[in-house]
Chain A
Amino acid sequence: MDCHLDIFFLEAVLNGLLLAGLLALLALGLNLVFGVIDVVWICYAELVMVGMYGIHYAHKGGAPFLLAALLGILLVALAGALLHVLVIRPVLDSAPINQLLVTGGVLFFLQAAATMAFGIEFRNIGIRLGSVNLMDMSFAWSRLLTFAVALGGMLALWLFLTRTYMGTAIRAIAQDRQIMPLMGVDQRKVYLVTSAIGGGLAGLAAALMVLQYDIYPQIGLQFGPLIFMICVLGGLGNMIGGFVAAFIIAQFIAVGGSCFATEWGYAIAFLFFMVAIFIRPQGLFAAKS
């Protein structure tokens, strides 16, 4: 191992910070859906994958990147709404674990469908934003952009949840599923809107990820477990907690990865997660009991 407190260590820490922005955005959509509908979309990372392919092909078809990204976000928002109507709604009243498993079936399906439609090759959208050099460190613009947009997206969601009628209804449903329908809130509509927003956030993450990563059908497996871990660590459904947890986990990955090898960064993060859950089973930042 070669781990010194030098400039490369600082670079790893800062890159970890930038990764955290993306992970926080990814965790946000899953947390929103869980907090409101009480369902874990285990296929969440696969929705991101669908969005990445959508953006890739829209861009290849001639759309400028921003338009392609917008189309991608809409596509995944639609996918989220469809997932809710076709798959989640029929099992809303069955055992919670069935709801988790049913989206696991969707995971298999999306992965295989993507393999059939797009093949197993790694695809790259081919946009290079270059990087910025600061002292001896270098940061990719795509990562800086991701960080900024992720923060912006989270802010926008927060404003939506606190400043609009629909947002207030969503928060109310999350607090009490039984009472709110009696108060005249249309639960079905709230669930549908929440699923679409959750999907839209996955689409936004996809738009940022196509700038940084190659696209392949199994990319969901690379990010999926990580996102769940962050959500659970922050307390499932707790959006602020998920935000903080993303920063902790990203540091383990970035610093661990730079000191040892990439897998070990991830392995240490998972180990930390398990130990942390044993110490605080409700997640590190559980607000509600």
Chain B
Amino acid sequence: MIRFSPAAIIGIVALLLLPFAVRFFFAASEKYYLHLLIQILLWSFIYTGWSLMGRFGLTSLGHGAFTGIGAYTTVLLWNFAGLTPWLGIPVGVVLSVIVALLVGYPCFRLRITGHYFALMTLALTEFVRLCIVGLRDYTGGSLGTQPRRYGDGVSLYAMQFEPDRVLSYYVALALWAFGIWMWLKVDRSMDRYALDAANQDEDAAASVGIDVTREKLKITGLSAAMCALGGAIYGQYQMYIGPDTIAGLGVSLNIVFAVIAGGLWVPLGPTVGAVFTQLLSETLRVGMQGSATLRDWLGSAALALDTAVYGLLLVLFIIYMPKGILGTLMEWRGRRKRIADTAAVARTG
């Protein structure tokens, strides 16, 4: 059982009340701000799913494949077989876990790590994206597709909740909370120690009786399942899925980078990464629309400015701040606390 600290309880209450605060303060543009929050929460969940394995040195560029499989399986089963997403999502999740294990097993048995693992999973992402584009009769090819609307838009049976933003917010919040809970659960499990050991020295870990392949497969399966679930829910919320928005190399790289920017080794790191990247691109976009000079200067190309700044920041982050925003902040706080503790001991002693 996880016990909540007072700060955590305040945080949870604040998150639960957030839609009402938005309604109160930004009544005019409530929909926009809620949309922003929902995006952040949904991506946070996907990022958290990736960080489960990323933190153990398993840098996968294949998670764009898992979000894609989750989203496309769900939508295609709904559109062509009439299967409710309540069953479609589990099918998508199981499918992407199977793919993850199929690719993961040989990788881990043969000890494909580091560069090779990253490039191997990159090939998986590319393969899945090409399959999605290739099956264009069903998937709409590179233009993407939409889940068929059911009734007036909000439906439990079709799992469609997009028109009601407050409801969507709570769906996203529940998903996000589930992701954090999962992270903490992994963090407190024996598997975490096994994987940490395997990350540092596979031979040594194996020699003390850790089944390295099995442990890695477990975390990979879990991570793929979470990303598939996140991708599927994201598709249900956006009511649109495209090979570049929910699958493919761009998504994979975004996942990895947001987590690194936020902090890979702390539970809320991926969330901070999502907040940071979403706010960055929104601020730049809105700032751009507001400024006539910038718009005249850059024209429609201004749309790419956020990605340019983003890319530059990532380079700087990896060079100067490899622990990410939250990781670095917590390190500072830890250091100051240690100094304060030492001072206190010195005074009393």
Contacts and interface: CB of A to CB of B under 8 A. Distances in A.
Interface of A: 40, 87, 90-91, 94-98, 100-102, 104-113, 115-117, 119-120, 217, 221, 224-225, 228-229, 231-232, 236, 261, 263-264, 266-267, 270-271, 273-274, 277-278, 281
Contacts of A236: 115-116
A278 B124 CA distance: 13
Interface string B123-139: 11011001101100000
16 contacts: A97-B115, A100-B118, A105-B311, A105-B313, A106-B311, A106-B315, A112-B308, A113-B304, A228-B122, A228-B123, A232-B119, A232-B120, A263-B130, A263-B131, A263-B133, A264-B130
Interface in B97-119: 103, 106-107, 110-112, 114-116, 118-119
Contact of B120 (A104, A113, A267, A274): A274
Interface size bracket, B side? 35 or more
Contacts of A277: 106, 112, 116, 120
Contacts of B311: 105-112
Contact of A97 (B57, B122, B134, B307): B57
A90 B122 contact: no
Nearest to B254: A108
A1 to B, nearest CB: 13
B319 A90 contact: yes
Interface SS majority for chain B: helix
A112 B281 CA distance: 13
A181 B309 CA distance: 37
B257 A98 contact: no
Contacts of B249: 221, 224-225
A271 B130 CA distance: 11
| Closest CB pairs A-B (n = 6) | A109-B311, A108-B311, A105-B314, A112-B307, A112-B308, A115-B304
Interface of B: 57, 59, 103, 106-107, 110-112, 114-116, 118-120, 122-124, 126-127, 130-131, 133-134, 249-250, 253, 256-257, 260, 298-308, 310-315, 317-319, 322
Given A116-B308, A267-B131, A281-B110, A104 B314 contact: yes
Contacts of A278: 106-107, 110
B231 to A, nearest CB: 20
Given A266-B130, A267-B130, A101 B115 contact: no
Contacts of A225: 122-123, 126, 249
B134 A228 contact: no
A268 B287 CA distance: 44
Given A116-B301, A232-B116, A274-B120, A104 B253 contact: yes
A107 B115 contact: no
A109 B319 contact: no
B322 A94 contact: yes
Nearest to A102: B318
A101 B59 contact: yes
A194 B257 CA distance: 28
Contacts of B134: 261, 263-264, 267
B123 A274 contact: yes
Q: Which of A98, A104, A277, A278 has the most C-beta atoms of chain B within 10 angstroms of its own C-beta?
A: A104
